Amino acid sequence: MYDDLKKRAVDLAKTASSSDIIFDALRDAIISGNMKAGESIRQENIAKIFNVSRIPVREALKKLESQGLVKNERYKGAIVSSLSDAEFKEIYEIRLLLEPTVVRYAAQNISKEALEIARACCEEFSTETDSAKWGELNRKFHEALYKGADRPFHLKIINEASDRIDSYIRAQLVLTDGMTKARKEHMEILEACEKGDGDRAAALTRQHIEDSYNSLMEFMGNNSSKLA
């Protein structure tokens, strides 16, 4: 694995953008499969390969983590993110069961403030250039619309499910053309909620979740798994 990184290595000690170069090299290694899910990324090894201190390596790893490609585990440090196909499918099945129902309830009693927050998120989607913030905006948009459902237990389960896949969604949004599709779908859901059309909001949300799942499976190279 490290042999591939060495090919990308140059003397970065005098390079201002060393963390960006390390980020690009590690990202390419992860996407290509040269670095496998669950594999540990040792800062000292990366720093040695690129002839830098650990500081730019840590910066690169933080950026990878913000995009869902890397996660930090206690006693292990940075590792390549992993989640099984079965876990993906179960989490999305939960989302399909709950989120259309929640948004249907919410659309019938949604506050002006919640709509304003959701619309602001849609507008930020169109102008935000920092890809690390896309996942946060995606989560904030859905939370704003769902809050008015007055279904706290439903929302607790949805939030827990989203926590498990949030990093993967962020990665998919960043590394594919996911943002373009998400912007359009978010705006359609928002407009349905603004009109108080709960049934349409629910149908659009269901389709949005199915599209997200299919996009993730394609992104991860698995086209065989389908939602019920």
Domain total for the chain?
Answer: 2
For residue 133, the 8-state DSSP code is G
Structure-block tokens of residue 5: 């990184």
* pLDDT at site 149: 94
| 150 within a domain of the structure (yes/no) | yes
Domain boundary (53, 80, 107) is at 80
Shared domain check, 93 and 69: no
| 224 within a domain of the structure (yes/no) | no
Shared domain check, 210 and 169: yes
100-120 pLDDT per residue, tens: 999 999 999 999 999 999 999
Q: Please write down the long-range contacts of 205-214, taking CB distance under 8 Å and 24 or more positions apart.
A: 205/99, 205/100, 205/103, 206/96, 206/99, 206/100, 209/92, 209/95, 209/96, 209/99, 209/100, 210/96, 211/181, 211/185, 212/92, 212/169, 212/172, 213/88, 213/89, 213/92
| 184 within a domain of the structure (yes/no) | yes
CATH of residue 13's domain is 1.10.10.10
Domain boundary (25, 52, 80) is at 80
Task: Supply the pTM of this predicted model.
Answer: 0.67
| 104 within a domain of the structure (yes/no) | yes
* pLDDT at site 125: 82
Shared domain check, 91 and 63: no
| 225 within a domain of the structure (yes/no) | no
Domain of residue 113, residue span: 85-219
Shared domain check, 171 and 110: yes
- Residue 15 reports pLDDT greater than 60: no
CATH of residue 127's domain is 1.20.120.530
Ranges 23-37, 38-52, 93-107, 176-190: which has the least confidence = 23-37
43-85 pLDDT per residue, tens: 999 999 999 999 999 999 998 888 777 888 888 889 988 777 8
| 40 within a domain of the structure (yes/no) | yes
Domain boundary (55, 80, 105) is at 80
Shared domain check, 76 and 90: no
